[in-house]
Amino acid sequence: MPSPRSEFERPRRFYTSVSVEPTEAGYAVRLDARTAKTPDGAPLATPTEALAQLMAQEWEAQTAHIELNAMPTTRMAFTAIDRTREARQVVAEEVVRFAGSDVLCYFAEGPVSVLEAEVRHWVPVLDWAHTALDLEMVRTSGIVHRPQSPATLARVETLALELEPFALTGLAFCAALFGSAILAFAVQRGELTGDTAYELSRLDEALQIERWGEDAEAAARIAYQRAEAEMAERWFTALRT
């Protein structure tokens, strides 16, 4: 989890008011009379007003110093504008990589209670992916890697490249967070909430914690990752609004 930076490292808040205004680039976050900029100097503008409003709330919440660690949607927008727009193929390939070893495809060899829980919770999502996304995912038991078919991976790439940069950025973020392209698509399309997708991605760990207990470090990590998943859900909801 990122640690807070000292006041000497954090930029001071240099603006009084925050607003959202439509521009040629989309809906822009305005700090006083100026459009906010990305680290590369591009206008901080999004495809929907709802998403720009999420970022405006983060800018408004800053106090004496600007803490980017507390501005997750703004940071993701920076990525979408400064990176994804120029490297859509590379970002799509990141999603494909997670599809190639998707956590939902690796069922436990035992104990039976774990396998039963996986089948109960994971199979419906895999069935949804088959029906809604035309993805036939190869399933296996154990942790030994079993590759997906080239046709399946090509389909994942096609689906990813169909998305505009903001949606593609969120998809890649979720794929990395969940270890699953399927769960990422499910959140992107509103099929699952971010919290549900996160719980499915860590089903084995949750069962272990239920049996053996949870230490403070694991609890903090889970809370942080859960908040990231919930943020991703808000991101996609705002993009669909």
Confidence band (pLDDT; 50, 70, 90) for 205?
Answer: confident
Assess whether pLDDT exceeds 60 at residue 7: no
pLDDT for residue 4: 46
Assess whether pLDDT exceeds 60 at residue 186: yes
Instruction: Show the beta-strand stretches assigned E in 3-73.
Output: 18-23, 26-31, 34-35, 45-46
pLDDT for residue 14: 92
pLDDT for residue 43: 97
Domains present along the chain, CATH in parentheses: 18-82 (3.30.2180.10), 86-240 (1.10.3580.10)
Confidence band (pLDDT; 50, 70, 90) for 212?
Answer: confident
| 135/51 Cα distance (integer angstroms) | 29
Average pLDDT, the chain: 93
